[in-house]
Amino acid sequence: MISELRIEKLNNACDPKILGCNSSEEVNVLEAIIGQDRAVRALKFGLGIRDKGFNIYVAGRPGTGKTTAVESFLEEIAKIEPCPSDWCYVHNFSDPYRPDILKLPSGWSGGFREDMESLIGTVMRDVRNAFESEEYATQRENTSKTFQQKKQELLENINEQAYKSGFVIQATPMGLLTIPIKDGKPLSDDEFLALDQKEKDQIVVKQQKLQEALETVLRQAKGLDKEARLALEKLDKEVASFTIGHFFNDLMEKYHELEEVLKYLRLVQEDILNNISVF
């Protein structure tokens, strides 16, 4: 027979003494995973795998504390495991879309990042100062002047050769032309046509030889322009290399045991020297 349940029977009292504390403030945070022996075994098994390509997936109802429990479990495991290396992603000078990775001893990554930031800032300042110095301006001017003098000598020689052959070299929109002269004055087309055929033939032969010599001189002048440009580029690299060299030497000494870091530092130094105008 169904009878009414009295209200005093709707609770289940327990003796507070069995809790071993007076309030929850005296209870330590639970760091273990209780009641999930299978999950703990799975975590230990997964963490014991040393090969690449494996992951651990944890599932459960939201708000049940699974993330906190797993983090606490991993922290305990980490205390007895060797400290892992630091991994730093750095610029790949061969393929900017695929960063390179450097392996550093544990805790070194922050210092390495600060070293690189300090290096680039210092390099930008000192390289700029070096190229704004009077010494650099003098070296650049002397280098340019040397090639300009050689080029001037070539043009003077061909002008002298032309004059002795009875010609003058004139600059036109179409380039340098050899114009025959008579009595110290350039011949006009009408004056040239008025000459007898023998004299015209002699002038044409001389003009062809002179034109060939002029073209040779122009090629040599272009070659000097190229040499001058290369010499100035070499000067810039030498100035920049001298300016930044000791900064890189200091870092290479600091990281001398890490070959991958040394390789990266060399690539950074090379890239700076190849892109001096950026600085």
Q: Would you place residue 66 in the very low, low, confident or very high pLDDT band (cuts 50, 70, 90)?
A: confident
Q: What's the pLDDT at 253?
A: 95
CA pseudo-torsion sign 137, 142, 147, 150: positive
Three-state SS annotation for 16-63: HHHHCCCCHHHCCCCCCCCCCHHHHHHHHHHHHCCCCCCCCCCCCCCC
Q: What is the pLDDT of residues 96-112, one digit of tens each?
A: 999 999 999 999 999 99
Instruction: Say how far apart CA 9 and CA 23 lie, in whole Å.
Output: 26
The C-alpha angle 78, 83, 85, rounded to 5 degrees, equals: 130
Q: What's the pLDDT at 87?
A: 94
The token pair that represents 152 in the structure block:
């001037």
The token pair that represents 100 in the structure block:
């390179």
**What is the average per-residue pLDDT within 115-120?**
94
Q: What is the pLDDT of residues 4-63, one digit of tens each?
A: 877 877 777 777 777 777 777 777 766 556 667 888 888 888 888 888 889 989 888 887
**What is the average per-residue pLDDT within 56-71?**
83
27-31, 63-67, 144-148, 196-200: the lowest-pLDDT one: 27-31
Backbone φ and ψ for 172, nearest 5 degrees, come out as: -130, 170
Instruction: Say how far apart CA 69 and CA 39 lie, in whole Å.
Output: 11
Those residues whose C-beta lies under 8 Å from the C-beta of residue 109, and which sit 6 or more positions away, are: 86, 87, 88
Ramachandran sector of residue 89 (left: φ over 0; alpha: ψ -120 to 50; beta: rest) = beta
Q: Which residues are bridge partners to 178 per DSSP?
A: 169
Average pLDDT score, the chain:
86
The CA distances from residue 29 to 33, 69, 71, 173, in Å, are 12, 11, 13, 91
Cα radius of gyration (the chain) = 42
Tell me what percent of the residues of the chain surpass a pLDDT of 90: 31
Return the amino acid letter for 150.
K
Q: pLDDT: is 160 or 100 the higher one?
A: 100
Q: What's the pLDDT at 194?
A: 74
pLDDT at 210 over 90: no
Find, among 103, 224, 210, 81, the residue nearest to 152 by Cα. 224
Q: Where are the alpha helices (DSSP H) in the chain?
A: 37-48, 66-80, 109-131, 134-164, 189-193, 197-254, 259-274
pLDDT at 279 over 80: no
Q: What's the pLDDT at 79?
A: 86
Contact 176, 169 (CB under 8 A): yes
pTM for the predicted model, two decimal places: 0.60
Q: What's the pLDDT at 109?
A: 94
Contact 103, 87 (CB under 8 A): yes
Q: What's the pLDDT at 85?
A: 92
Tell me what percent of the residues of the chain surpass a pLDDT of 70: 97
pLDDT at 237 over 80: yes
pLDDT at 158 over 90: no
DSSP state of 74: H
The CA distances from residue 148 to 211, 231, 261, in Å, are 23, 12, 44
Q: What is the pLDDT of residues 246-268, one digit of tens each?
A: 999 999 999 999 999 999 999 99
Q: What's the pLDDT at 30?
A: 61
